[in-house]
């Protein structure tokens, strides 16, 4: 993944965006990580929180301990783009 304004090489997202109503049997580890990193689940914007701020921060802190900050931020940006993109449909 590169940005035309800054050709720095970034890691690829290693999360999946999980749509509401996805059955548990279809969940993957990448999907669960995508759920954890999604700030909309903590009540960002017009969305009601399904986890507390403390729970979301704790989950993200744990992810940051397991992967690089660059990977975490790439994943966060990917999930936000996917989540906000679904609002247009």
Are the beta carbons of 1 and 71 closer than 8 angstroms? no
Q: In a structure prediction context, what are the per-residue pLDDT tens digits for the chain, which is 89 residues long?
A: 444 556 579 999 999 999 989 999 999 999 999 999 999 999 988 889 999 999 999 999 999 999 999 999 999 999 999 998 865 54
pTM of the model: 0.83
pLDDT at 20: 86
pLDDT at 2: 46
Long-range contacts of 28-31 (CB under 8 A, 24+ apart): none
CB atoms within 10 A of CB 76: 18
pLDDT at 8: 75
Q: Return the structure tokens found at 6.
A: 């800054």
């Amino acid at each position: 993944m590169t940005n035309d304004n800054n050709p720095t090489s970034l890691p690829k997202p290693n999360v999946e965006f999980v749509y509401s109503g996805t059955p548990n049997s279809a969940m993957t580890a990448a999907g669960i990580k995508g759920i954890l990193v999604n700030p909309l689940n903590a009540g960002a914007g017009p969305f009601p929180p399904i986890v507390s701020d403390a729970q979301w921060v704790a989950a993200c802190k744990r992810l940051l301990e397991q992967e690089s900050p660059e990977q975490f931020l790439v994943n966060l940006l990917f999930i936000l783009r996917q989540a906000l993109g679904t609002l247009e449909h």
